[in-house]
Amino acid sequence: MSSGRSKYNLSLYILIPFIFMGMSVLSGIIAFQLSKSYTLSEDFVLWSLIGVGLAFLCGLAITVLLLGPMQRFVKEAEKLPLFADTLADKTSLKVNEIDHFNLVSREVTKLLSKVKAKELFPEMIGQSEVMRGLFSQILKVAPTDATTLIMGESGTGKELVATSIYNYSLRKDKPFVKLNCVAIPEGLLESELFGHEKGSFTGAVSRKIGKFEMADGGTILLDEIGDMPLSTQAKLLRVLQEREFERVGGTQTIEVDVRFIAASNKNLFELVKRGEFREDLYYRINVFTIIIPPLRERKDDISSLVEYFLKEAPRETRISPGTPKAMENLMRYEWPGNVRELRNIVERAVLMSEDGIIEPADIINMDMQVKDHDGDKSREPELLHEAGEGSVDHKLKKLEKKLIVAALFETGGVQARAAEVLGIKERSLWHRIKKYDLDPASFK
């Protein structure tokens, strides 16, 4: 059975020059024959026709050889459901064949890059162009030992990026130690980083191993490094430069081999100019910088993120298919809290939804300031639609549930405080929580 492949492996870099060389030889022969004829004879016409015909056939052969496989590829790609709608929209205007080939090639390349991103970074949801650029940066820096600085607003996923760098590094089988500089009191940060000896300070009842020592041979992530005290920054600089340190209260020098990753939601360069961050440390950690785009700059990913969060929800829930208003509101919001804020709003909507269907009234956060592109208009008429279908009693119940959920979110599920916020007695709130089948523990 034929496999559909040629028996001969011909390189186009050899074949095409030989074809044109043959055409040149043929032209030389024709010119030589003409040079022997001083008048326009029958031989002149014959050789001219032969030359033109062979040149045309050679050009046709090259075209078929080069464009034939491309034409078959384009036709097969156009049949795929993944491309049918996209290519139909983009080719509604007449374009020449070469432009059409380029269009299909771009769409195929775009899809392949999305598939690659999804396979390589399953824990990072996003297929937008800026996110694919971010994934490319991670793959470039991960196999190296270069110090990496991850910049991004709060809630953009800096720790996820650091984890991805570790997973694709040559140290992936070694320790990965994380420390949030904000979470540790200033007086204990040095002890957390470098460890301490017994009796070095009040409460040091035994020797403690620090994060750098724990990460020896592996990777360490210092999150929110912009909040690190200046005194600790000086000692950190020595570790990065000399790869050695002493425990607090100790005299023994400890050498370590670590891959260093730092993250910050602050503009470190601005902190340097204000004298709140050491300039020498800034340039030491700013070797390879990755800037994570905020959610408002990659709104194409919102639908994928919502779908992912809904799959993680404790009960099966979906957005009402006949109500695009809910998704429109999410797309128009500016997301100051980024992906973390989106996750919280989706989780809240799941709790507020009835029968597993999320309506626009469920997905609007009370603190969300959705932009109205038509100007500042009163939202009172919209409340009738956001409260859903049914009688006024049904609408009031939905609004009541919305208020209770918002109060529980605000108070972390503490019913006594939530009752105060709502201006009702705690027992009355308890009855309403039971009526709407809410779980206060889930709001903590």
DSSP H helices, 195-248, are: 211-214, 230-242
pLDDT of residue 382: 47
* Euclidean distance between CA atoms 138 and 143, whole angstroms: 9
With respect to CATH, is domain 296-443 assigned 1.10.10.10? no
Assign 3-state DSSP to the chain and report helix, strand, coil percentages, each to 5: 55, 10, 35
Q: What is the pLDDT of residues 224-246, one digit of tens each?
A: 999 999 999 999 999 999 999 99
Phi, psi of 224 (to 5 degrees): 55, 50
pLDDT of residue 381: 45
With respect to CATH, is domain 129-293 assigned 3.40.50.11540? no
* Euclidean distance between CA atoms 395 and 384, whole angstroms: 8
- Flag residues of the chain having pLDDT under 70: 1-56, 58-60, 62-71, 73-119, 321-324, 361, 364-395, 444
Phi, psi of 372 (to 5 degrees): -105, 110
pLDDT of residue 85: 52
The one-letter amino acid code at 94 reads K
CB–CB of 292/134 below 8 Å? yes
pLDDT of residue 345: 87
* Euclidean distance between CA atoms 99 and 401, whole angstroms: 56
pLDDT of residue 258: 96
Q: Which residue has the tokens 């603190």?
A: 367
Q: Which residues contact 256 (CB under 8 A, 6 or more apart)?
A: 212, 213, 215, 216, 239, 243, 244, 245
Task: Check: pTM over 0.85? Answer yes or no.
Answer: no
pLDDT of residue 255: 94
Strand, helix or coil at 249?
coil
Contacts of the segment 26-33: beta carbons below 8 A, 24+ positions apart: 26/51, 26/54, 26/55, 27/51
On the 0-12 / 13-18 / 19+ scale of CB atoms within 10 A, 117 is buried
pLDDT of residue 113: 55
**Between helices 302-312 and 338-352, what is the axis angle to 10°?**
50
Q: Which residues contact 124 (CB under 8 A, 6 or more apart)?
A: 131, 135, 157, 160, 161, 164
pLDDT of residue 170: 92
Residue 285, CB half-sphere, CA atoms under 13 Å: how many?
A: 29
On the 0-12 / 13-18 / 19+ scale of CB atoms within 10 A, 134 is buried
